[in-house]
Amino acid sequence: MAESTMQKIVSLAKRRGFIFQSSEIYGGLKACYDYGPLGVELKRNIKDAWWRDTVHRREDVVGLDCSIIMHPDVWKASGHLAGFSDPLVDCRNCKERFRADKAPRAEPASKTLYREGGKKDGKKLEGVVGPQGYVCPVCGSGDLSPERQFNLMFRTSLGPVDPMQEILDAVDDIHALDAKARREKLWSIIEQTAVYLRPETAQGMFVNFLNVLNSARMKPPFGIAQCGKSYRNEITTSNLTFRTCEFEQMELEFFVEPGTDEKWYEYWRKTRLDWYTSLGMNPGRLRLRDHDQSELAHYAKACVDIEYFFPFENPQGGGEWGELEGIANRTDYDLKRHAEFTGKELSYFETETKNRYVPYVIEPAAGADRATLAFLCDAYDEEAVDAEKNDVRTVLRFHPRIAPVKVAVFPLVKKDGMPEKAKEVTRELLAEGINSFYDESGAIGRRYRRMDEVGTPWCVTIDTDTLSSGTVTVRERDSMEQSRIPMGGIAQYFRNRLK
């Protein structure tokens, strides 16, 4: 069977050093990935572009970098301890554990066909879809356990006490207690040291609201931005880095005066959608999807997702809309909750009008790994260069701002001083902060193709004319056109083109 686009992207990502499975030589670890030499550059360029456009190019946004482990009461106030959970279901036939809200839908009481144990050669069985109206995503059985809530936060312990050891030590003592007292005793041991890996970066911005207000002398409307790791013990992980347990977020909390929140919500919807297209993403593969009332989080007045049409495989055919970023009007919920839990006054006093208010928050929350995957998928192209010869080139059409390598430098041949000149050019570009790559191996055509496949926008070739006239050939990735430019000032030439 022919490879799907997604399979080709996954294989290119590994072969060329974008994304590797974590701990691969140990057999890998479910939904954990490492970025290779080109992947780390791509993701870093995307995060840098976000930081530059969200923080550096604006007067009304400042940055923050908070610790991943925060005071455990933060998660009580935010509602994550009580409510940050997904509905978990077990399939009694194949033992798969999955998220009920993501399972394939089916008509309640309709017939369902599946194989015993979910095995290919298992006995054919017939069952009935339960009143919940979904079936197991793996074997199709309707024989499912009741739904139960599964909290997505990773719990760990802080301090020199090992709660597992304490529990083991307490086993004999709790023996005589009744079931309720045993649970309470065990929970009290866990709770003494329990802390959580943050499931979102957002709370760091809320709990530092006063610190930023006072130290940076900001006044609404203003934003606090943060880019960093978040952790969620996801039940269902899929499609390379789309949904993983460890991921990076790029979040902005934008504090505004109540009453102006709807205007700012509209502003950020547009600004954030435009950001993706400004970095070359195909607008035809992007859409805004408004949440309906039943979907809204408890704290949100309105929310919209920016979605990208990923080439994921699914039973309906190739492609699936997936969330890249959510933009929410979080109202004054978070500041009020933290004020309630800490007794601190988390509000803003406007001296001119003598007006004190708790700001509303508009939150554009994006994922760095999802954005990286989307830009990778969006850039992937196969171009028929010569249909008669069946010559097809694979090219990643990255916007130059996010391309991992900006310029590749080649000596035409490995003699006559060309390698020395090419190395000189490479060093000059690197010294100017333009990520460049020197390559002298193989025919020149093959070298171009290798760089096309990793999305390098420009290749520079040093040839005999370089030695006599001091010019080099610049070859464009997308059009494959070539032109000659002077070798002197080459770094400035590419600086201008990167602008």
Q: Where on the chain is the footprint of ligand GAP (CB under 6 A)?
A: 200, 202, 232, 234, 243-244, 247, 249, 251, 323-326, 363, 365-367, 369-370
Nearest distance from residue 19's CB to ligand GAP, in Å? 13
- Cβ proximity to ligand GAP: between 326 and 457 the closer is 326
Nearest distance from residue 228's CB to ligand GAP, in Å? 12
Q: How far apart are CA 23 and CA 44, in angstroms?
A: 22
Question: 104 with 116: CB under 8 angstroms?
Answer: no
- Cβ proximity to ligand GAP: between 68 and 444 the closer is 68
Nearest distance from residue 105's CB to ligand GAP, in Å? 22
- Cβ proximity to ligand GAP: between 281 and 451 the closer is 281
- Cβ proximity to ligand GAP: between 112 and 203 the closer is 203
**CA separation (Å) from 356 to 218, 257, 345, 361?**
15, 10, 10, 16
Nearest-5° angle of CA 317, CA 396, CA 278?
Answer: 90
- Cβ proximity to ligand GAP: between 228 and 326 the closer is 326
Question: 333 with 339: CB under 8 angstroms?
Answer: no
- Cβ proximity to ligand GAP: between 244 and 329 the closer is 244
Nearest distance from residue 263's CB to ligand GAP, in Å? 21
Cβ-proximal residue to ligand GAP, closest one: 367
Phi, psi for residue 401 in degrees, rounded to 5? -60, -30
- Cβ proximity to ligand GAP: between 129 and 366 the closer is 366
**CA separation (Å) from 102 to 98, 135, 237, 365?**
8, 10, 11, 21
Residue type, 410: F
Nearest distance from residue 273's CB to ligand GAP, in Å? 13
Nearest distance from residue 70's CB to ligand GAP, in Å? 14
Identify the DSSP state of 2.
P
Question: 3 with 333: CB under 8 angstroms?
Answer: no
Residue 417, both tokens:
């001083």
Nearest distance from residue 327's CB to ligand GAP, in Å? 9
Question: 129 with 135: CB under 8 angstroms?
Answer: yes
Is 394 exposed, middle or buried (CB count within 10 Å of its CB: 0-12, 13-18, 19+)?
middle
Strands (E), 148-213: 148-151, 155-157, 194-196
